[in-house]
Structure 1
Amino acid sequence: MSKPTIFLLGATGYLGSEFLKLLARDYPDYPVIALIRNATAERRARLNEIHPNITVEEGALDDANAIIDQVLKADIVINSASSDHWPSVKATLEGLEKSSATRPGNPPLYIHVSGCGILSDNARGEHNPNLKIWSDIGLDLKDCDPINTHLESDIPIVAAGTRKENPVRTIIIYPGQIYGVGTGVQKTTLWLRFFLDYAKKLGYAGTWGPGRNVQNTIHVLDCADILLFIFKAALEGKAAEGAEGLYFAVTDTTMSYGEWAEKMGDYLYSKGLIKEPGCKPMPPEVVEPLGHYGWSLFGGSLVGKADHLTQMGWKPVYSNKESLLETLPAAIDAGLEDW
């Protein structure tokens, strides 16, 4: 029997390259197609080092035709590239619908990595004494605040997974705040690089508002393991899909933005890289250009429980060994390589 072909978006990313390593370990004979921009010989060689059966196709998330073409060649599509790039998700769904029409009774599988931004309470950096703790069992995306991030893409994905004509097997994974030094292509997470850039410009570590908003945390190696765990369950027909196929990839540990921002500020100050230790709110001229997107993601509390994964028997390993605060200095050092 031929092995299913996987089309992977985000293969060179922080989470995507960690997942690619796990695929190479457990499914080295599964063909993988990776769409990457600026596909230099060096970047191709790096991916070939990770997975022995990978084909690199050059293209960007805005290349709708390239995405559709590759989706039509695949049995499984996994998107760990960008949870908020609607044009690429739209192209993926279009390709999946066409693919489904050519294989009645055997719909393609789509695993999409989103984020817990769907849960934001939009507290503008303040502590919320009535914060809702969401469960992913029985979760209905239409119960989330409609102005929250990720929903523009996620609601159409669920619709594709629940329709009768040309259906798609859809699964959406919602990581919390991913941390830790990566072992794949990208060593640092986007939020860390983002806040390091602001610290460099401002001379201090900053927060959206007072930084009392909280979020679940999860080590990048645990998050990649969750992606593989759900992938395996889907292959075996044991994963919930469609309207029920929504999974929080989180641990029960939560942390406020102010906690890690303060440690970031102290560490950068100790290295003589910024003017002030600790942290403080960033000024309006910095936070307001990002508008609601920034306030919702960086100023809101986003807290859920991974009840689906708990029921399925998954348990964190790396998150229990080292916390976000414990890994932060090493992650900052990795991020400073591009300072």
Structure 2
Amino acid sequence: MSLGKKVFIVGPGFIGWNVLDLLAKENYSVTGYVRRQEHADQIKATGATDTVLGDLNDKALITKHALTHDVIIHTATADHLPSVLAILDAVEQRAEKGLSTIFIHTSGTSVLDDGAAGSHKSDKVFHDNVLSEVISVPDTAPHRQIDLAIIKAQKQLAEKAKIAIMIPPTIYGVNPSHGRLTIQIPTLTRYALKHGYAGYIGEGLPVESNIHVLDLAKAYQVVLHHLESTPADSPDILDNPYYFIETTGDDEPSWKDIASVIGAELHKAGLLEDPTPRTIPSENYNDLFADFTDAVIGLNSRSRAVRLRKLGWTPTEKSWRESFVQDELPIILKEEGDRKAFGGYKGTVAS
């Protein structure tokens, strides 16, 4: 591994901030591309060398700064094509100058969405070392159009760049130094507090793999080191850019299982009269993920991180249940504001 390389992280938020922390400790020079000065100050306090204030739609600004960095990591969202194209433009310009670039993009396992909409558990499990399984998803799947744009550029660039696509499942957990929460389970918890019951989509039977955010950040670190130390013309890089990241197939809860834990814990806290979860009617989806609700919390999405484990990566953090009870729920219960006014997740879904 070469220390001291310049890293540009686009969107060092819930995922990327944790990646930034790890790389800063390894003496990488890390620049974070953020929207707010407050967050710029936060990431500088944890090791960022520099910050750039900007919007994801500012392609010229993103390209400008990506041009001066050896490593580019996109963790802002899995569904913003202009920012990805801005990075790819920079990677191509660098290649024309004889400069190699490492680009790590964040997709998500909603790309594996089978359209179950809460109806059933699937036996289909995807393995990242079997390329045919990964690319078997339709081009219309969530995140897929962005992934395909990256693959197209990768084929054109060949050994002139090293590109990886990270595909995390349901992300949970908290870095106590950051205090930020993830999306799915906290949103379902806030829904329960507003409506008086824990809920799930349809029958709540589909399952999705999961990963603690700190284990996820370590996965980015492992992949970066692998890309640095592997020749650019290696088939391992050129033929398969995909990496799944999950804890273990032995702990894949159904969405009903998750709702049951939410209901039980809120009942224990005296905030729900009845802990029994039930189906959420579609007219309430605006209090969840609006039109994306089925694809975020009603899907089957089962993945196996075969490639990462071969590289020595092993998840070590708390299970999703322990993390929810011990870390996330206490933060949610301290949130200020009228719980009855909660209006769903308004950000860009990256799962």
1:83 is aligned, of 69, 78, 82, to 78
CA shift for structure 1 position 291 = 6.5
2:324 maps to what in 1?
328
| Cα separation, 1, equivalents of 2:106 and 2:126 | 18
1:134 aligns with 2:105: no
1:44 maps to what in 2?
40
2:347 maps to what in 1?
none
SS in 1 for 2:181: coil
| Cα separation, 2, equivalents of 1:45 and 1:151 | 34
Tell me if structure 2 keeps the 8 A contact 1:180–1:331. yes
1:260 maps to what in 2?
258
2:9 maps to what in 1?
8
| Cα separation, 2, equivalents of 1:73 and 1:271 | 51
| Cα separation, 1, equivalents of 2:159 and 2:229 | 21
| Cα separation, 2, equivalents of 1:179 and 1:290 | 17
Instruction: Kindly provide the CA deviation profile for residues 113-147 of structure 1, in whole angstroms up to 9, marking residues without a partner as x.
Output: 21111112221112235x21111113245411333
CA shift for structure 1 position 189 = 0.9
1:33 aligns with 2:31: yes
Query: What amino acid is aligned across from residue 5 of structure 2 in structure 1?
Result: P
TM-score normalized by the length of structure 1 = 0.88
Query: What amino acid is aligned across from residue 137 of structure 2 in structure 1?
Result: C
2:189 maps to what in 1?
196
| Cα separation, 1, equivalents of 2:90 and 2:334 | 39
Residues 123 and 185 of structure 1, relative CA distance in 2, 3 Å threshold: same
Tell me if structure 1 keeps the 8 A contact 2:222–2:311. no
Residues 154 and 282 of structure 1, relative CA distance in 2, 3 Å threshold: same
2:335 maps to what in 1?
338
1:95 maps to what in 2?
90
SS in 2 for 1:241: helix
| Cα separation, 1, equivalents of 2:302 and 2:173 | 19
1:208 maps to what in 2?
201
Q: % of aligned pairs identical?
A: 27
Tell me if structure 2 keeps the 8 A contact 1:161–1:241. no
Query: What amino acid is aligned across from residue 331 of structure 1 in structure 2?
Result: E
Residues 59 and 307 of structure 1, relative CA distance in 2, 3 Å threshold: same
| Cα separation, 2, equivalents of 1:178 and 1:165 | 31
| Cα separation, 2, equivalents of 1:228 and 1:241 | 16
1:60 aligns with 2:55: yes
1:251 is aligned, of 239, 242, 247, to 247
Runs (5+) with no aligned partner, structure 1: none
CA RMSD of aligned residues (A): 2.4
Residues 5 and 266 of structure 1, relative CA distance in 2, 3 Å threshold: same
2:212 maps to what in 1?
219
1:295 maps to what in 2?
294
2:171 maps to what in 1?
178
1:112 maps to what in 2?
105
Residues 100 and 286 of structure 1, relative CA distance in 2, 3 Å threshold: farther
SS in 2 for 1:33: strand
Tell me if structure 2 keeps the 8 A contact 1:122–1:295. yes
CA shift for structure 1 position 111 = 0.4
- Matched residues, number: 327
Query: What amino acid is aligned across from residue 10 of structure 1 in structure 2?
Result: G
Query: What amino acid is aligned across from residue 150 of structure 1 in structure 2?
Result: H
Instruction: Kindly provide the CA deviation profile for residues 36-88 of structure 1, in whole angstroms up to 9, marking residues without a partner as x.
Output: 11213xx333222211x510111122222221111112111001111122222
CA shift for structure 1 position 290 = 5.2
Tell me if structure 2 keeps the 8 A contact 1:101–1:166. no
| Cα separation, 1, equivalents of 2:52 and 2:173 | 29
Tell me if structure 1 keeps the 8 A contact 2:159–2:238. no
| Cα separation, 2, equivalents of 1:306 and 1:297 | 20
Residues 165 and 241 of structure 1, relative CA distance in 2, 3 Å threshold: closer
Query: What amino acid is aligned across from residue 61 of structure 1 in structure 2?
Result: L
CA shift for structure 1 position 211 = 1.2
SS in 1 for 2:37: coil
CA shift for structure 1 position 5 = 1.1
Query: What amino acid is aligned across from residue 4 of structure 2 in structure 1?
Result: K
Query: What amino acid is aligned across from residue 153 of structure 1 in structure 2?
Result: I
2:348 maps to what in 1?
none
Query: What amino acid is aligned across from residue 241 of structure 2 in structure 1?
Result: G
Residues 332 and 136 of structure 1, relative CA distance in 2, 3 Å threshold: same
